[in-house]
Every structure is written in structure tokens, then in C-alpha cells.
């Protein structure tokens, strides 16, 4: 990560957004253009020129002034190692001292080369293949799944690609989540489930306990399948309080 004066590239669900930096002078960004496709690992042109009335000492890194065109020109590329998840920040600093030029805002689509394919997937609860959840039962027999802080668990999914990079695919629409027994636990894709505090979980799939027992959560992505284990223990019900002290294992 480089200096604060430069390009800020945000990768959001396959989209890259280059944001303005308020501390440097304005430029006109001629390339890349809005909607352009950028292939990871392959160079793409960057052309910038000072906006009318603006003066720049330098634009960079890797850009040089072309007297014939009156703009700064060069190439950049996104390293495969940098693209590791759906939302990632890249920062390219502007070298040198004095008056700097900032970039305009443009959105481009970032894709992996067609030769870069998934070799396998891995699913876990913050690194573990098994989670232990709690559930409470009222004196009348009603199960309460939001009574305690251990009634839900966040599930992550990664894929190993042929370029040997492990990438987060949790929010990929091609990932399918299934519970083998919804009477024990149900699973919500990212953005569709709420944790025990009532907050929507966006960055992970969410598993919620529904009854005591043991089951599997099955994750599918294309031809690949992985699963994790969910153990749900029934705990004492405490009226009006979040329960604590129920052994998870």
C-alpha cells in the first residue's frame, strides 16, 4: 500500500471503483474508460491529463508525460495475489513532491483470465469445520433461538484457483447453501439472515439453531461440494435475560 496521494481502487463484487482523493489537483481520466473490462494480471492503459486550469508536477507511479498528446501515459495491472475477495482496497500512490494530480472516478469490470479456474472449495466457521450452538426452551415447550449469543454462527467459503490464490467467494451468487436438517439448523445466504442481536449479516452466510441435535450444512459451487457440522445443545431458559454459562460442548 502506497502514499495517500493517489488512486484508490475498490473491488466490490467484481467491480473496481477509482475514487477521488481530495488533497490533490483534478485531472481528466481518459483511460480506462467507464465500463471497461480489466483482466487480472494483464496490463491496461492509463491515460490522464490535467483538467483545465490545473498544473501537475508528476503523475504516477509508472506514468510519464507525452509531449505529443499532452497527457501522462502508462500501463498498470492488477496482481492476481491482490484479488483475494469480493471487497478489497487497492492503493496506488503518486510519487514525488509538490503539486499532484488526482484521478477522476471511473468504474470498470474486473475479471480473472479464462484460464484461471476453481480447483476446489473450503467451508468453515471462522476456521473450524464444526460449530456448537445453543438453544433455549421455555417452560411451555416453545423453543427460543434468539435467547443467547451462541444461537447463530457465521460461515465463510473460499475457493482455491488454478493460479494458487485462495479467494473469498461467500457473496458469489453461484454458491448454494443447504441444511441437511432444518429442524436442527437453517442457513441464510449473505445479507438474508440476522444474528442473535438482530443485525443483518452481510459478509458471511449465517447458520441459526432451530432445535437440539446434530446436522450438516452443505455448500455447493459448480461441481464442488463441501460441508460443515453443526451441534445444537438445549440450554436452560432464563426469563428476560440473555442466557450464559450453558456448556457449548
Q: What is the pLDDT of residues 49-72, one digit of tens each?
A: 777 777 666 666 677 888 899 888
Question: Would you state the pLDDT for residue 158?
Answer: 92
User: Would you say the C-alpha torsion 189, 193, 196, 202 has a positive or negative sign?
Assistant: positive
pTM for the model stands at 0.70
Measure Cα distances from 172 to 187, 219, 229 in Å. Answer: 16, 12, 22
Q: By the 8 A CB rule, do 9 and 18 touch?
A: yes
The grid coordinates of residue 130 equal: 464444526
Answer with the one of 69, 90, 111 that is the final residue of a domain: 111
Instruction: Output phi, psi for 126, to 5 deg.
Output: 45, 50
pLDDT at 35 over 80: no
Please tell me which residue, 175 or 1, carries the higher pLDDT value. Answer: 175
Say yes or no: 69 and 132 in one domain: no
- Residue 197 structural domain: 118-235
1 within a domain of the structure (yes/no): no
Say yes or no: 126 and 217 in one domain: yes
249 within a domain of the structure (yes/no): no
60 within a domain of the structure (yes/no): yes
- Supply the DSSP symbol for 95: P
Question: Would you state the pLDDT for residue 23?
Answer: 47
188 within a domain of the structure (yes/no): yes
Say yes or no: 79 and 181 in one domain: no
Question: Would you state the pLDDT for residue 180?
Answer: 97
Weakest mean pLDDT among 94-108, 175-189, 224-238: 94-108
CATH number of the domain at 222, please. Answer: 2.60.40.1080
Q: What percent of the chain has pLDDT over 70?
A: 71
Weakest mean pLDDT among 77-91, 136-150, 176-190, 199-213: 77-91
Residue 236, SS3 per DSSP: coil
Answer with the one of 60, 95, 111 that is the final residue of a domain: 111
244 within a domain of the structure (yes/no): no
Say yes or no: 146 and 222 in one domain: yes
Q: Which residue has the cell 421455555?
A: 138
Those residues with Cβ within 8 angstroms of residue 13's Cβ, 6 or more apart along the chain or in another chain: 86, 87, 171
Say yes or no: 185 and 77 in one domain: no
Say yes or no: 103 and 139 in one domain: no
Weakest mean pLDDT among 38-52, 66-80, 143-157, 175-189: 143-157
- Per the prediction, the chain carries an average pLDDT of 76
What is the number of domains present in the chain? 2
Instruction: Output phi, psi for 244, to 5 deg.
Output: -140, 160
Q: By the 8 A CB rule, do 238 and 139 touch?
A: no
Q: How many CB atoms lie within 10 A of CB 148?
A: 23
Q: What percent of the chain has pLDDT over 90?
A: 26
Question: Would you state the pLDDT for residue 15?
Answer: 36
Q: Could you please report the per-residue DSSP string of 206-230?
A: EEEE-SSEEEEEEEEETTEEEEEEE
The grid coordinates of residue 160 equal: 482455491
Question: Would you state the pLDDT for residue 21?
Answer: 46
- Supply the DSSP symbol for 25: B
Q: By the 8 A CB rule, do 8 and 88 touch?
A: no
pLDDT at 91 over 50: no
Answer with the one of 79, 111, 143 that is the final residue of a domain: 111
Amino acid at each position: 500500500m502506497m502514499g495517500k496521494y493517489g488512486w484508490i481502487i475498490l473491488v466490490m463484487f467484481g467491480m473496481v471503483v477509482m475514487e477521488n482523493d481530495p488533497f490533490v489537483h483534478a485531472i481528466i481520466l481518459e483511460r480506462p474508460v467507464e465500463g471497461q473490462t480489466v483482466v487480472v494480471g494483464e496490463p491496461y492503459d492509463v491515460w490522464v491529463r490535467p483538467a483545465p486550469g490545473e498544473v501537475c508536477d508528476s503523475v504516477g507511479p509508472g506514468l510519464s508525460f507525452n509531449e505529443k498528446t499532452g497527457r501522462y501515459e502508462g500501463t498498470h495491472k492488477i496482481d492476481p495475489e491482490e484479488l483475494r475477495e469480493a471487497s478489497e482496497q487497492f492503493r496506488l500512490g503518486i510519487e514525488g513532491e509538490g503539486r499532484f494530480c488526482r484521478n477522476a472516478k471511473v468504474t470498470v469490470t474486473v475479471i480473472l483470465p479464462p484460464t484461471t479456474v476453481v480447483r476446489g472449495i473450503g467451508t468453515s466457521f471462522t476456521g473450524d469445520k464444526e460449530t456448537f450452538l445453543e438453544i433455549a426452551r421455555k417452560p411451555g415447550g416453545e423453543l427460543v433461538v434468539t435467547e443467547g449469543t451462541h444461537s447463530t454462527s457465521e460461515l465463510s467459503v473460499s475457493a482455491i484457483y488454478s493460479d494458487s490464490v485462495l479467494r473469498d467467494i461467500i457473496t458469489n451468487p453461484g454458491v448454494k447453501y443447504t441444511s441437511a436438517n432444518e429442524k436442527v439448523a437453517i442457513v441464510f445466504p449473505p445479507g438474508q439472515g440476522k444474528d442473535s442481536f438482530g443485525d443483518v449479516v452481510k459478509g458471511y452466510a449465517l447458520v441459526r439453531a432451530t432445535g437440539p441435535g446434530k446436522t450438516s450444512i452443505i455448500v455447493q459451487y459448480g461441481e464442488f461440494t463441501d460441508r460443515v457440522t453443526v451441534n445444537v445443545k438445549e440450554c436452560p431458559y432464563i426469563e428476560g435475560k440473555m442466557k450464559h454459562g450453558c456448556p457449548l460442548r
